[in-house]
Structures are given as structure tokens and as C-alpha cells.
A and B are shown apart, each in its own frame.
Chain A
Amino acid sequence: CLFVFPSWDETHFGKMGSYYINRTFFFDVHPPLGKMLIGLAGYLSGYDGTFPFQKPGDRYEQHNYMGMRGFCAFLGSCLVPFAYLTVLELSKSLPAALLTACILIFDTGCITLSQYILLDPILMFFLMGAVLSMVKSNSCADRPFSASWWLWLSLTGVNLAGATGVKFVGLFVVLLVGLNTIYDLWDLLGNLSLSLVSVRNFSLSLYASFQSQLIGNNLHNVSVPEHLAYGSVVTMKNLRMAGGYLHSHWHLYPEGIGARQQQVTAYLHKDSNNLWIIKKHDSDTAPSSPVEFVRHGDIIRLEHKETSRNLHSHQHEAPLTRKHFQVTGYGINGTGDSNDFWRIEVVGRKTGKLIKVLRSQVRLTHVATGCILGSSGKTLPKWGWEQVEVTCTPYLKETPNSLWNFEDHINPKLPNISLDVLKPSFAEILLESHMVMIRGNSGLKPKDNEVTSKPWHWPINYQGLRFSGVNETDYRVYLLGNPVIWWLNLVTIGLYLLITISTAVALKRGVQLTSELKELSRVVLRGGGQITLGWLLHYLPFFMMGRVLYFHHYFPAMLFSSMLTGITWDTLLKFCAAFLSPSTIARKVYGGGFLALVLLIMYSFYLFHPLSYGMIGPMASDPSSPMAGLRWMDSWEF
């Protein structure tokens, strides 16, 4: 049963799908592939892109949303066979693969997450695809350059590109594959029977496929007047990586934060509020007067085109960087005071030289206080529309933060010249656009009063995420992993560590093992090691992230954790069976253990399935609710 109204982030990604169908430009913190696919699925299934996706709870009515949901759900269900094949390939053991598949089928979290129009099922599809094809191509390594080798290798590349194209989290799987490839290359390097040429070929083939996703668009086919003149309308861009344009708007700084004057910020996107007019500090330029160029060392005034206020600074502390001065928009129709005067200087230039658009790195010194206009790179709170803070720094250091260049330049009196020379290379554009997205990403700060999720909450299934429905009468869906499965996964990680250490020490001590045990220890060390590395790479980085984190960020890591569970329990039971010598008991222990695990998982799914398929009635904190007995932790809110 699927809901007839959008839940949680569906409003977000569904809307972007609609944008693609309507060809509307938008900006988002994630790379475009995932949303394009959602848009495509919607288009093919006949969705017309007219549903507004305003807030969770609006009914879909006649809109055809099933295509998009079905697409995501299909990708989400592909995870099960992928994980099954991966574990089968790594451990060569059918029960291990079945256990993994069973875990993923019966995990309420995975089910819930794949049922809606979200990026996560798409991301996880590509991610698991990449892992599977990596494992497959590893096993083809003994016959390089065969057809299947090429197939899996190129599939790895395609999936990696897909994963990074959906979300930046995809970069972690690239890292995983990269490390794996380096390891393989190192292995090959030690193989003296191979010539060096073939080793080199191998390394190149992976790299080429990775670049396929990157389509850059060239913004810089400009044609502007070359030298800056008084009366010109310009935009100024900060030189720091992903620095914004100098920006102002009608809103004032709130009370208690410096003077209550108009805000000046740095804004990452093109906007008419980024336009400033260059004027002489003491007079306006008459439209009829001849062109006069701005020279290095001149004292100028910058008037904001939309609001006619002057760029102004004074000795009030800046909103975030307390030791800097506040920068505001001041004055009416260009009439301000002496705090509006700025000296314009070009880095490494002598007095009197002209200032070039785009090419000159410019510094603006505030005449009255001697400070330098700069962007601190910090994101303002809600009152500043989460734009970047602009300050006047009294520390006269030369950093990109305090350097600007003129990007747009409009002056009808001057001839335009074409500046193709300045076209940045593809790599530069790519780097810049990704820096913008990453900055936007890390700028997602928790809102006031929002309970944020901490990475250590995740593996212990501490707190779920409410997908839809708040009240008792609502039909509610709660994203929470099946606790039995998640705690099993958690225990297994500890178990795996124990097994690995003891196996590694035993091997190092030169204990004689039977060939069967040797094979087992190889699976534990090599296969389990790969999967553990994947888990670590998809989990640990979150501890260092400043952005707001949600429970669903753990799901890629959870996939790895589930695969590890399959492998570890299989090995553990096989070890146990090996110690019980009579083969009938051994087989019974082995089979019984598996059956118990699978039954446990299925029973827990039976208990918890309302979490993902929706529940109605009183909240679980109420003892009369059918879910009351299942609220094993106080932090669960279903």
C-alpha cells in the first residue's frame, strides 16, 4: 500500500523532478543525475510536472506519481540480488549470500527508504552495482582482457559515475574501488611473469570510464569592456574558492547585530542584486560626460544598483567575525557619508594604472578605518538568508578572502572586447562548480530547535526519522531499521574483529590449518576486509562533517554491514562445525544456526512491518497502542 500524498523529502526531490520536466533552472546541493533520472521516470510514466510538491501531506489527487515511486522502488529492490551476488562471489557460500539477502529483504529501514521518491535508492543502486562489478572483475583478474573482464570493469566505471552523479556520498565508493584497484595493481606489480606494459593498461582502463559523467558548461564566453570606468555597472566576485558575488538587498541587519542598516553579503549565484555602480567619491558621473577610467589608488564609492545605497563600513563589529567591522548599505539615492569611501588597489601594480575587468585582482581599502573589504566565508543565520558574511578586516593580510575581481561590466560608452583568453579549463570549472555544491552542502546547518542526529546514534538504531504523519489519526510511516537486524549487524562487527584478529595472529604464528580452514580464513581476511573497508569509508567520514546529518545517511554503510553479517556468521558457523568432528552433528549445527538466524529475522520483520507499511492509531508511547510493546527504546517516536 503506497501513500497518496508525498512524504518527507519527496517534496524536495519530486519538485526537482518536475523542474526537469518543465525545463526550469534550479540549484541544489546534490549533483544532477539522481534528479534527472527521477524526472525521466516521471516523464515516461506520463507525469506532467504540474504537482506543486508544497508540503508533506498534500494529496497527489489525479497526478501520476506512481512511475517515479515505482522507479525508485525498483532500484531499491535491486539491492537484494546485488548484495546476494556480491557475497556469493566473495565467500563462495550460498548460505552466507542467502542470509545477506534475507537481511536486506526484511529490513524495515531499507523497505521504507526505497518506497518513496528519494535519491537514496538510486544512490544505493549504483553503489551496490559498483561493488558487485568490482568484486566480479576481481574474480576475472586471472584472465585479463577477456570479454567478461572488460564488461565488469566498464560496469564498475559506469556505476561509479552514477553513484557520484547522484550524491557526493558516492565519492566514498570511488575511494573504495580506488583503494581496491591500487591493491590489485600492487599485486600485479609483484607478479614477475607480467610485463610492465600490461600493468599500465590495466590501470588506465578504470580511469577513463570515470570521467564520463562530467559535463561542464562554459559560462565564460563573455564580451565586456576591458577597462573599468566611472559609471560602469559591475559585479564583484570574491577570489576565494567558491567565493560569492558582493550582494545587497532591502533587508536590514537585525537588532543587536551592529548598526541596523542594510545587509551586505556575498551570494553564490547570479542575481540582479549583485550589481553595483562605480562612482567618484565626491560626485556623480553625468551621463553625458566623457568616459573617465578608474585608476589604481583612486578613491571611489560603490552604489548598489537596486537599492541605491552605498557600500559602507564603520567600527561596529561584524555579525559573525567579531574582530572585523560590519559592512552595510547606507545612504539614500547615493548620498551617504565619508564612511562610504573606498580606495581601489590592484595587487602588484603601481599608482595610476587602469583596472582590467576579470584580470585584475582588486583590493578595496576603507578610507576612514583602513580596513579591507573581504568575505569571511561564514554562513549567516536565517536573517541573512544563509548567504555568506562580508566584513571589513583590519588585518592587512593578502588572502584570497580579501581580493575581488570584476566579472560583469556594463558600460554603453565603452567598446566590448571578447575575452576568450580567460576561458577557464574544464578542470577548473569542474572544481569550482563542485566547490560551490560542497559549500552549499556544508552550509546545511541545523535549524533552531531541530533535533539533529549524531553519527554514533546510527548503528545502534537509536532514533528513526518520521516520514509522514504526526498525529494519532494520521497514517504514519517511520524510518527505522529492524532493530533485531541492526543489533545483529552491530554485534557482528565486533565478532568480525575478533575473528579477524585471531585468524591473523594464528596465520602469523604459523599454525597449521587444514585446506578448508585456510580457504575460510582467506574469505574472512580478503572478502571481509573489503566489505569492512567499505563500511568504514561510508561511516567514519560523517564524524567529521559539519553539516546537518540525518539517520538515512547511514544506509549505504548499513548495506556493507549486512554483507559483513552474512560472511561472518557463515564463517563462524563453519568454524564451529569444523571443531565438532562427527559430520552429522557438524551439519546440524551449521544448518540449525542458519535456520535460527533466518527465522529470527523473519519474526522480527513480522513484528515491525507496520513501521514501513504504515500504522494508524494511537502513538506507541500510549500503552493502548498495538505498537506499545515494540517501543524498546525511549527514543523511538512511532
Chain B
Amino acid sequence: MWKAGELWKISYHELLVAESSGACFRSNDLQLAVSERVTAALLCFSRRFGQTSDTMLGFLRKPVVVTAEINMNLVALTVMGLISRLWGLSYPRAVVFDEVYYGQFVSLYMKRIFFVDDSGPPFGHMLLALGGYLGGFDGNFLWNRIGAEYSMNVPVWSLRLLPALAGALCVPLAYQILVELQFSHCAALGAALLILLENSLITQSRFMLLESVLIFFILLAVLSYLKFYNLQRHSYFSGSWWFWLLLTGVACSCAVGVKYMGLFTYMLLLAIAGLHFWHMIGDQNLSNVSLMCHFLARGLALIIIPVAMYLSFFYVHLTLLYRSGPHDQIMTSAFQASLEGGLARITQGQPLEVAYGSQITLRNVLGKPMQCWLHSHTNTYPIRYENGRGSSHQQQVTCYPFKDVNNWWIVKDPGMQQLVVSNPPRPVRHGHIVQLVHGITTRYLNTHDVAAPLSPHSQEVSCYIDYNISMPAQNLWRVEIVNRESDTDVWKTILSEVRFVHVNTSAVLKLSGASLPEWGYRQLEVVGEKLSKGYHQSMVWNVEEHRYGKSQEQKEREVELHSPTQMDISKNLSFMAKFTELQWKILTLKNEDTEHKYSSSALDWITMDTNIAYWLHPTSGAQIHLLGNVVTWASANIAALVYTCLSLWYLIRRRRKIYDVPEDAWQLWVSAGGICVGGWAVNYLPFFLMEKTLFLYHYLPAVTFQILLIPIVLQHLSDHLCRSLLLKSMFSALIVAWFSSVYFVYCTFRPVTYGEPSLSVTELKDLRWKDSWNILIRKQ
């Protein structure tokens, strides 16, 4: 035991010496220096070339020697990562958990159909779709149920490949990050192995999900920033300096593009970069000009490029998806008209300016609870409602969610009888007073002081029938264009958002959102809102279909109303207009109330009191769960705690001018903590403020950072707190024991991580280490 410890220590020392001298790593023959730790990667080629090319043609005097050194650690780690993530990737050949959600978007990408997803920006979806594209997926699969068997046309392997690759590459990235943080290769190896053996990361990487991609980009951003920062000391504005700086920006924008959670890490890196720049300002050796250059370079790479990249994701997204589809109705009519098929087919070529005599359909701008058009039909309001209140018994006016010939209205000048457009057309402008005539029944849109059927505080809206009971028609409406530029704006098809203000009562035509009972065919209620303070989308309407009416006679007119509109003028939205609208919808779209069986609160995550069942074999007990490696999670928590306490202790002692650790070790400790604890905090704490449904997988980016902290703390403890040789060797032995327990837990939970082999009921019961875990056990 003693001997082994000593050997370990020697090899360890050698490593430190080798590293601090900055030389290329050479293999050493010590027994314990296992193969992964043998060599270090430094491409010495470039440096040698640089030295010999001082004199012109110098390279002719000496032979050109290319020495490439390959870090076998990294290679081995990458291979192990790939094996662990890619092994049996197409098993299970069934829809696993959120694949049911992302899969539908992949299908829509394959079919080029437009969609809106409020869960995040489109880059992640596009990456998944790329997998489908490479695998030749045609998009024909119905994503409706978790556990559904994939049909033969779904290239499961290639769909899952990209997330799996991203997950596998996290292992070498973790290694590199620790190396760049100036920690030993031993520690780096430890971090990489912990990531490798983390069950939750494995599970999350092996399916068509976005977290592993997100974590990959986050780690890549951190690594490239560290590389950049370390280069900063001796060579600025060199090629590799620029490369790593730009890569930081690119990786950040990719992370944000995959999920908005990426913003947290982006902000952290910006803050760190700001802090480092602040230190540079204090450096008197730098001239003002070079400071400015540094500042601009960072601004370009860390702000301008990410913004441009982010826009480009949307550009690609909108270019790819040009067909209309199921989510159209969320968007405005103008947006819909820019998509192929759907509304565009109808509205293409219709006249732009609404004139007296125009035949129009009016769509409510709100689009909630569903898109609908102002509608009327021959049925009347019942004389008495169920609750005993009376109505005017006039013709119903509703909002109808489907295209229908009864959605057509004719704009009429109150002063004239004719229902056709004169030549030249007389356009309707903001503030004009019009009557709206229902096309099929030729009745006038009317509102009066009668309580609406479901919203008794508002006025009923009807199509006026003269019952001869001293209830005069009140059918004059003032057109108010909400998005006008001047007060003389013309009412335009699709583009203008219009309010109809009733002239007699100044009530505003409004969609109340309630749906009528049987007598109203469950259509949506339309009311006249008397107290209309402020702007609300439910009171705003826009013309969707439009044509100039030509037929004088009612019979002809009916034929005309049934025929499709056609004429010419096409309207195209600019990219920025589309982007702003789509971005706004993504941010404001709220899926109501999505409580889920496996949702959890942020507090459950630290202790991993919750799990998520991803998949269950239809017959056997084989199943897949999102479950972390218990030992790793617990140690990560302890590491964070130890780090915080030690830091506070050091900080207070330093304030009293007592220095426990050497200055350079302290700097390393602080910067490592800034990245790891900071990364954990920014990726975790914001969830306490969020009101959306939370799942355990939201914690994975945070836990990745926390895991990176474990080897940092361990190395610090062994370097600075284990003073005697005996202590150090005991500590190393402890670490070995702890590592084997990590491995043991990994092996124990492997069946529920990979979904095979199938476990028996007793084995499953044994896996239920915490009562709050929901392991699925089939009833016999």
C-alpha cells in the first residue's frame, strides 16, 4: 500500500514538473502511468517551423521535419465517449420521451412546412433535422405517442447520431477545459471520466433531444474562451488567438440558438471577458490604441458575430420552411400570405385597397382561442336564454373558425344604395363611416343596447331584422385603422388592423372568446364592448380575403361570393419583419398549464429526488430512465460546498493579510471556481424564478459544470491541505476507492440507462434507491 502510494506520487510529481516547464510531454515508464496518461498533445510542428524560417530559404538548409504528437489521453477518451454514447444507438426502435415532441418538427422540416415552437430558437431543431436529412428521412411518421414503434422509413440511427456525437465530445472537452484551467492531467482525466460515467448525460445524449447539443456548445464556448485567454498572455492578434476568440462567439450563439438556456452561459462568459478586459485597462504597458483594438475585437467576436449568427439561424429556418402548415393561424395574415399554399393561394393577386362595394372577410387579430372570421347565418338569437334573460331575437353574428361563404361581408357607403365598386374605386379611409352588409343574407351588421348572450356587460351584435317593434337599425360603424401612419390612411387588405366603432353607442366590435351554446353551434361570441379602454387585439380585425364586388343582383352576387378571388399584386414581407414577428411569437406564445407526471421543482434536482421514465418496453421490464449517477451528484454537491466554504475562509484570511496558498494557486482556484461554480449557478438559480414546467433534464447543464468542479477541489485538497506524505497517499487511496464506487453505480444503473438488458421485478425494486423515484414495475 505504502509503495503504491509513493509510486503514484512520483509519477504525479513528474507530471507537474513536466507541465510547469511547458515542455512537450514524454512518456514515462513508471508502472502506474497508465496508457491514457502517457503523452500530451502539443503540435510542435508550428513552433519549430517558426524558428527556422527567420532567414529566407532557411528551410532549405535543414530537412523539413514534421513532428506531430498525439495526446493518447484525448484519443482514448474520445473513443470511450463515442462507444458509450453510440453503442446500440438505434435501440429502442420506438419513440422515446420528448422525441415525440422534437420528431414532429423534424418531419415538418423534411416537408418544408412552417411551424412555430415556443420552446426555443430553431437552430437545435435544424440540427436534428440535419440528421434526418442525412439519413434520407421523408418526414412521414406520425409522432403521437411515446413508445410507438418506428416505421421502416425512419432512419433512427442518423436521427439520433448528432446528439450522441455532441454528448460523446463533451468528454474530451471536459478534459481540455481542466487542462486549460491549468490543472494537472490527472485532474483533467478525472473530470472526463466523471462525465463519461454520468448516467444522466448518457441517457440524454442517446436520443433525439437537445440537451446534449446544448451542453456541447456550452463547453465548447468555455473551452475556446479559456484557450483564447491563455493565448492572450503571450501572443495577441495571432491567428490562433483570433480563431479561439471567434469560436467563443460562434459557440455561444450556437448554444443560444439551441435553447434559450444557452443565454446564461453566454452572459457568464461576457461577464468574465468584461472582467478580464477591466484588468487590461489597468495595465499601463498597453497603449490606448491597442486597448481600443482589443475592445473592438472582443465586441466583434462576442457580440456582433453571435447576433448575426442568431439572425442567420432564423434566416435559414424561414428559407427552409416556405410551405404553410398547422401553425399558420398563430401568425398574422401578412405572414401567412408569404407562405406557399394556404392563405397565399387565396390572397394572391387580390386588390390592396378596400373600397366601397368591396367584398371582404374579416379575421380577428387575436387568434385566441383560435383564428376565426366574422360570421353570420340565418339563425337568430333565441328569444330567451337558459338563464331567463331576453335577447333581440335578431340574426346571430359570431366568429367562425373555418372558411365559409357566410364569412363574406360587403362594405357599403351609408349614403348610397349600390353594393358594387364604382369605377374608379372609392377607397375607404381611416375615420370613414361604413355599413357592413352580410353577403349571403344582405342584412346589416348592427349592435344595440341589449346584453350579449354570454357577456352581459357588453352589447349584443346582430344582423338587423326589421321586426317592426320600434327597435331602429343602428348599423353605422366608424373604421379606425390602428396601425395607421397618418390620419388619412387607406384601409388595406391584410396589412391594416382595423377597429370598428359603433357610431350610436361608441361600442367596439370585439371577440369575447367565449363559445356559444348549442343554439349558436358552439361558434365564438362577438360583442360590442362599451368600455373599451386601451388597445386589445380582440377588438382588432383585418381584411383577409378581398375582391371588388361587381354583381348588382343578389343571385349573381351569391355566385360571385362562392367563386375564388383572383387578381394581381403580391405582397412580400422582408426578412426582418418576419423575424421580428416570429421571434415575438416564440417569446410570447404560452402553452397553458402543462403539468406533467414527471415534472419536478428545481429544489428536487440537487438531491436528485426525481427521475423521468423515458421509455418502457411494451412487453418486458426493459426501460430507460433519466437518472444521474448518485455518487457523482452527491460528490458534486459536496465539492461545491467545500469550494464555497474554503473560498470564503481564504478570502477573509487574505483580507487580514494571511496567505494560506501561494498567489498563483489562488488565482487558479478563483478562475476555476468562477467558471465551474459560476456556470452551475447561472444555469441553475434562474429556474427558481421561472414559472414554466420544469424537468430534471433542465439541470443537466448546471450539473455538468458542477462535476467539473470535483477534480478541481480534489487536486486543491491534495496539493495544499494534505501536508504530509502519509496524508497524501491516504487521500489518493480514498480517491481510488471513491472512483470505483462511481464506476460501480454506473454499472448498476446501466440497464436503465441503455434500456437493456431487461430486468426482473426484484432487480427493478432493488434499483429504487429513493422512494421518490418512479421505477416502472409491471403488475404480474
A256 beta carbon closer than 8 Å to chain B: yes
Q: Which of A196, A449, A510 has the most CB of B within 10 A?
A: A449
Q: Does A395 contact B (CB under 8 A)?
A: yes
Point out the residues of chain B lying under 8 angstroms from A208, CB to CB. none
- At the interface with chain B, which of A117-125, A186-194, A512-520, A523-531? A186-194
Output the least CB separation between B766 and chain A (Å). Answer: 22
Contacts A323-B593, A395-B597, A544-B689 given: A189-B652 contact, CB under 8 Å? Answer: yes
How far does the alpha carbon of A464 sit from the alpha carbon of B48 in the complex, in Å?
Answer: 73
> How distant is B514 from chain A, measured CB to nearest CB, in Å?
7
A451-B282 contact in complex given A189-B652, A321-B593, A323-B595, C-beta closer than 8 Å: no
A435 in the interface, Cβ–Cβ < 8 Å? no
Q: Are A256 and B514 in contact (CB under 8 A)?
A: yes
Contact mask A487-521 → B, CB, 8 Å, 1/0?
00000000000000000010011100000000000
B residues in contact with A255, CB < 8 Å: 387
B595 contacts across to A, CB distance below 8 A: 321, 323-324, 395
Distance of A509 Cα from B277 Cα, bound (Å): 12
Q: Which residues in A have their C-beta under 8 angstroms from that of B772? A: 398
Residue among B282, B288, B531, B592 making CB contact with A508, cutoff 8 Å: B282
Smallest beta-carbon distance B369→chain A, Å = 13
**A23 proximal to B (CB < 8 A):** no
Does B51 lie at the interface of the complex (its beta carbon under 8 Å from any beta carbon of A)? no
Q: A449-B531, A449-B533, A509-B282 are in contact. Are A322 and B656 (CB under 8 A)?
A: no
Inter-subunit contact A451/B655 (CB<8 Å): no
Which among A186, A320, A323, A508 is the interface contact of B655 at CB below 8 angstroms? A186
B709-744 vs A, CB cutoff 8 Å, 1 = contact: the mask equals 000000000000000000000000000000000000
Q: Which residue of A lies closest to B595 (CB)?
A: A323
CB within 8 Å of B: which A299-338 residues: 320-324
* Cα separation A255 to B516 with both chains bound (whole Å): 12
The answer to whether A189 and B284 touch across the interface, beta carbons within 8 angstroms, is: no
Complex Cα gap A240–B657 (Å): 47
Closest Cβ–Cβ distance, residue B527 to chain A (whole Å): 13
> Within 8 Å of chain A (Cβ to Cβ): is B2?
no
In the assembled complex, the CB of A460 is this many whole angstroms from the nearest CB of chain B, namely 18
Return the CB mask of B620-659 against A: 1 if under 8 Å, else 0: 0000000000000000000000000000000010011100
Chain B residues within 8 Å of A324, by CB: 595
Q: What is the bound-complex CA distance between A516 and B534, given in angstroms?
A: 53
Q: In the bound complex, how far is the Cα of B186 from the Cα of A428, in angstroms?
A: 48
Main DSSP-derived SS at the B contact region: loop
Interface presence of B278 (CB below 8 A): yes
Name, among A190, A505, A509, the residue most crowded by chain B CB atoms within 10 Å (CB to CB): A509
Residues of A near B288 (CB, < 8 A) are: 509
- Cβ contact of A322, chosen from B387, B533, B592, cutoff 8 A: B592
Given contacts A256-B514, A508-B278, contact A322 B284 (CB under 8 A): no
Q: Give the distance in Å from the alpha carbon of A189 to the alpha carbon of B653 in the complex.
A: 9
Structural contact, A451 and B278, CB atoms closer than 8 A? no
Q: Contacts A256-B514, A451-B533, A451-B534 known; A509 to B655 CB distance under 8 Å?
A: no
Rounded to whole Å, the gap between the CB of B595 and the closest CB of chain A is: 5
Chain B positions within 8 Å of A196 at CB level: 656
**A189-B656 contact given A451-B533, A451-B534, A508-B278, CB 8 Å threshold:** yes
Interface positions, chain B 54-82, Cβ under 8 Å from A, are: none
Contact (Cβ within 8 A) A190 B281:
no
Residues of B within 8 A of A449 (CB): 531, 533
Residues of B within 8 A of A544 (CB): 689
> B387 to chain A: which residues have CB within 8 Å?
255
Chain B's nearest CB lies how many Å from the CB of A438? 15
Q: In the complex, A376→B714 CA distance in Å?
A: 44
Q: How far is the CA of A510 from the CA of B282 in the complex (A)?
A: 7
Closest-CB distance, B523 to chain A (whole angstroms): 15
**Residues in A neighbouring B531, C-beta threshold 8 A:** 449
Q: Residue of A at shortest CB range from B600?
A: A397
Question: Are B655's CB and A189's CB within 8 A?
Answer: yes
In the bound assembly, the distance between CA atoms of A398 and B689 in angstroms comes to 22
Q: Which residue of chain B is the closest to A255 with respect to CB atoms?
A: B387
The CA-CA distance from A233 to B593 in the complex, in Å, is 35
Contact with B along A362-399 (1 / 0, CB 8 A): 00000000000000000000000000000000010010
- Among residues of A, the one whose C-beta sits closest to the C-beta of B597 is A395
Contact B284 A509 (CB under 8 A): yes
B597 and A192 within 8 A (CB):
no
Q: Inside 8 A of B281's CB, which chain A residues have their CB?
A: 505, 508-509
B495-533 interface code vs A (CB 8 A; 1 in, 0 out): 000000000000000000010000000000000000101
Which B residues are in CB contact (< 8 Å) with A509?
Answer: 281-282, 284, 288
1/0 contact string of B403-429 vs chain A (CB within 8 Å): 000000000000000000000000000
Residues in A with CB closer than 8 Å to B597 are 395
As a 0/1 sequence over residues 169 to 200 of chain A, the CB contacts with chain B under 8 angstroms (1 = contact) are 00000000000000000100110100010000
Residue of A186, A321, A323, A544 with most partner-chain B CB within 10 A: A323
Question: A323-B593, A323-B595 given as contacts; is B284 within 8 A of A192 (CB)?
Answer: no
Alpha-carbon gap, A321 to B693, bound state (A): 13
Residue among B387, B454, B655, B657 having the largest count of chain A Cβ atoms under 10 Å: B655
Interface readout for B383-397 with A: 1 if CB under 8 Å, 0 if not?
A: 000010000000000
- Quick one: which of A386-429 are within 8 Å of B by CB? 395, 398
Give complex CA distance A127, B704 in Å. 44
For B672-708 the 0/1 string (1 means CB < 8 A from A) is: 0000000000000000010000000000000000000
CA distance A186 to B652 in the complex (A): 9
Q: Which residues of A have CB within 8 Å of B533?
A: 449, 451
CA of A196 to CA of B657, assembled, Å = 13
**B410 CB, nearest partner CB in chain A, Å:** 33
Q: Mark A421-457, 1 if CB is under 8 A from B, else 0.
A: 0000000000000000000000000000101000000
Q: Which A residues, 544 to 599, have Cβ-Cβ distances below 8 Å to chain B?
A: 544
Question: Which A residue's beta carbon lies closest to that of B534?
Answer: A451
Residues of B within 8 A of A186 (CB): 655
Report the nearest A residue to B610, measured CB to CB: A397
A449 to B284, CA, bound (A): 61
Q: How far is the CA of A87 from the CA of B279 in the complex (A)?
A: 32
Q: How far is the CB of B506 from chain A (nearest CB, A)?
A: 15
Q: Are A322 and B514 in contact (CB under 8 A)?
A: no
Kindly supply a per-residue 1/0 record for chain B positions 576-608, scoring 1 wherever the CB is within 8 Å of any chain A CB and 0 otherwise: 000000000000000011010100000000000
Chain B residues with Cβ under 8 A from A510's Cβ? 282, 284
A322 x B593 contact (CB < 8 A): yes
**B residues near A320, Cβ cutoff 8 Å:** 593
In the complex, the answer to whether A190 meets B284 with C-beta atoms within 8 Å is no
Nearest CB in chain B to that of A450: its residue = B533
Nearest to A448 among chain B residues (CB) is B457
| Shortest distance from the beta carbon of B362 to any chain A beta carbon, whole Å | 24
Closest chain-A Cβ to B516's Cβ sits at a distance in Å of 11
CA distance A196 to B288 in the complex (A): 43
Determine the chain A residues whose CB is within 8 A of the CB of B657 once the complex forms: 192
Smallest beta-carbon distance B276→chain A, Å: 13
Q: How far is the CA of A166 from the CA of B531 in the complex (A)?
A: 36
Complex CA distance for A451 and B472, rounded to whole angstroms: 34
Query: In the complex, what's the smallest C-beta–C-beta distance from B459 to chain A, in angstroms?
Result: 15
**What are the residues of chain A within 8 A of B282 when measuring CB–CB?**
508-510
B533 nearest CB neighbor, chain A only: A451
In the complex formed, the residue of B with least CB distance to A395 is B597
Interface positions of B from 282 to 339, Cβ below 8 Å from A: 282, 284, 288
> Whole-angstrom distance from the CB of B299 to the nearest CB of chain A?
15
B598 to chain A, nearest CB (A): 9
Please give me the 8 A-B residue pairs with the lowest Cβ-Cβ distance, nearest first. A189-B655, A508-B281, A508-B282, A322-B593, A190-B655, A323-B595, A449-B531, A451-B533
Please name 6 further chain A to chain B contacts, defined as beta carbons within 8 Å, in addition to the given A190-B656, A509-B281, sorted by A numbering. A186-B655, A322-B593, A451-B533, A505-B281, A508-B282, A544-B689
A-B contact pairs, 19 of them (CB 8 A): A189-B652, A189-B655, A190-B655, A192-B657, A255-B387, A256-B454, A256-B514, A321-B593, A321-B595, A322-B593, A323-B595, A395-B597, A449-B533, A451-B533, A451-B534, A508-B278, A508-B282, A509-B284, A509-B288
